[in-house]
Amino acid sequence: MASFTTFEPIMRPGVDPASAPNKPPLPPLKYDRREEQGLVIERNIGVPLRDGTTIYADLYRPQGAAGEADLPLLLAWGPYGKHGLTNQVFWPLSGVNPELLSTLTPFEGPDPVWWGYRGYAVAVVDPRGAWQSEGDFHHNGLQEAEDCFDAIQWFADQAWSNGKVGMTGVSYLAAIQYYVAPLKPPALVAINPWEAFSDWYREFAYHGGIPETGFIPRASDNIRFSLGRTEDTWANVQAHPLIDDYWRSKDIPLEEIDIPAYVVASWSDQGLHLRGTIEAWRRMGSAEKWLDVHGQKKWAHYYMDQSRERRLAFFDHYLKGKTTQVNQWPPVRIEVRDQAGSATERAEGNWPLERTEYTPLWLDAGRGTLSRDKPSGESEARYESESGRATFDIVFDEDTEITGHMKLRLWVEIEEGEDADLFVAAQKLDADGQHTGFTFYAFYENGPVALGWLRASHRQLDPQRSEDWRPVHTHTQEDLLTPGEAVPVDIELWPSSTRFRAGETLRIVVQGSDIYTDSKPNLPFARHENLRNSGHHVIHTGGRYDSHLLAPIIPE
């Protein structure tokens, strides 16, 4: 048994699945078999779980003899409704080309038509308690992992199966792979998690200890459609502001994953999936694992032809035993970005890059600069915590690549109150001093190089997990501030890869609220509106104050 823990979360009554907005009409819960678009389609197949609960799946297989025997299966497991099939599901800003998808494509999952033509079965499952599946819905954790284990084994035992199952998908459809793989279902032979957080507290709910208030309520509402009860994720998050047994019940024993894994992350997902995807790859025990990190819009990237062909090579190798190029893949591929839509792909041997030169760039509040030389004199930057900011710039005199994890050490003082919420952005300015935008989430091109956050009372570090180049905070206690007293805080900036040409600027922005706030209504976008600021923040630099940015500079 993998080392999961359990916890009884806050539950709530499910909402009638037939009332879900922005979904096609919910089909009746009866078995249906049809043939269309070159596939045999079986809807509402009952999948039995170990405790007698039945969950429901839709299965897609190639028509004719090709679909009757020796088929590998790709499993798409998610809470968004297996009936929600369309090639128009993604927002126009996402960049997804609907012409690349069939009308049978599940949200964030594999297109059954594309895969069926290539000799795969695809199963799309409504988990326990989701939609018309029986039971109560559990949002990740051991129960959902065990249910997924049972479904994998059930599908592998069917007459048409070759006994091999793979998993692929984005976000929720990726995270479930982290949870089930440590349980080692015999039929699960390869996974392809395509962007999903793996640390519930630090990446999903509390960025640096600051509660996330934009995406979580929306995500919680998306999983409320059930004939039973569902976890009230938003209520649970608010009820547990510090790491405790609730959060530990969501922890994943990633080291116990030992099957081949093709893992994909995006520099654009600052505040949701980026950090956790890379951490999942780093911690996995798999002997065969690959990491790709791109800088593009995540859904568009998942469905583009090159990405699908790369997934096909991966699954053909492990689910069909074919000879493909997988064994020639480099362990890591990254895109080194110049700006949104412009990047250079490069092969690497590991992450973080072993040749990284961690270089302190010292903050000088008096001049608003970053410098390789520590200022001897002390100075301070003072800004109004609810509307002001401090900025620190360095203009590079030669081409410079920053790839990896940045750490910002600040000496912070407050004038009143007992806490401070600190928001940090690393930005790029062109040679004319204009902001250079990068792809941000799945929608925008005006984003930062990287983001970081910290509630100052959460500054205590975990000495077992922290590295010189990346602080990890315990988030198990609050050490409130005293007005007039400066304290050191270490802020993790999420990983990034950016090229600065000579004459271009790296800017560090520090303020007391979200730096990027232009999200459209109903788009998944991190926001933080429950803050603890008052009065002014004061940043001390120079002399006895070692405020600096530790930058991961990559030599030519």
pLDDT tens for each residue of the chain, 556 residues long:
577 889 999 999 999 999 999 899 999 999 999 999 999 999 999 999 999 999 999 999 999 999 999 999 999 999 999 999 988 867 778 889 999 999 999 999 999 999 999 999 999 999 999 999 999 999 999 999 999 999 999 999 999 999 999 999 999 999 999 999 999 999 999 999 999 999 999 999 999 999 999 999 999 999 999 999 999 999 999 999 999 999 999 999 999 999 999 999 999 999 999 999 999 999 999 999 999 999 999 999 999 999 999 999 999 999 999 999 999 999 999 999 999 999 999 999 999 999 999 999 999 999 999 999 999 999 999 999 999 999 999 999 999 999 999 999 999 999 999 999 999 999 999 999 999 999 998 889 999 999 999 999 999 999 999 999 999 999 999 999 999 999 999 999 999 999 999 999 999 999 999 999 877 666 678 899 999 999 999 999 999 999 999 999 999 8
Using the Cα atoms of residue 350, residue 352, residue 354 and residue 355 in order, give the sign of their dihedral. positive
Q: Give the SS3 label for residue 165.
A: strand
Amino acid sitting at position 31: Y
Residue 352: asked if its preceding bond is cis (omega within 30°), the reply is yes
* Buried b or exposed e, range 22-47, using 16+ CB within 10 angstroms: ebeebeeeeeeeeeeebbbbbbbbeb
Tokens (6 digits) for 283? 């911690």
In three-state secondary structure terms, 365 is coil
Structure token pair of residue 7: 């916890």
The token pair at 2 is 């993998």
* Upstream peptide bond of 217 is cis (omega within 30 degrees of 0): no
Residue-level pLDDT at 442 = 83
CA distance 134 to 400: 56
CA distance linking residue 39 with residue 114, whole number of Å: 10
- Cβ-based neighbours of 306, under 8 Å, separated by 6 or more: none
Sign of the dihedral defined by the CA atoms of residues 533, 536, 539, 545, in that order: negative
Burial zone of 217 (CB within 10 Å; 0-12 exposed, 13-18 middle, 19+ buried): middle
Strand-pair partners of 37: none
- Measured CA angle at 358 (ends 355, 363), to 5 deg: 155
Per-residue confidence (pLDDT) for residue 447, from 0 to 100: 95
- Give the separation between CA 13 and CA 32, rounded to whole angstroms: 29
- Under DSSP, is residue 385 helix (H, G, I), strand (E, B) or coil? coil
Secondary structure, 3-state, 215-237: HHHHHHHHCCEECCEEECHHHHH
Residues 6+ apart with CB under 8 A from 309: none
What pLDDT does 1 receive?
57
Binning the chain into helix, strand and coil, the percentages to the nearest 5 are 20, 35, 45
Q: Which helix (H) or strand (E) holds 238?
A: helix 233-239
pTM: 0.97
State how far the Cα of 101 lies from the Cα of 86, in Å rounded to an integer: 8
The answer for residues whose C-beta is within 8 angstroms of residue 140's C-beta and 6 or more apart is 175, 176, 179, 200, 250
Helix 142-156 crosses helix 172-180 at what angle (to 10 degrees)?
90
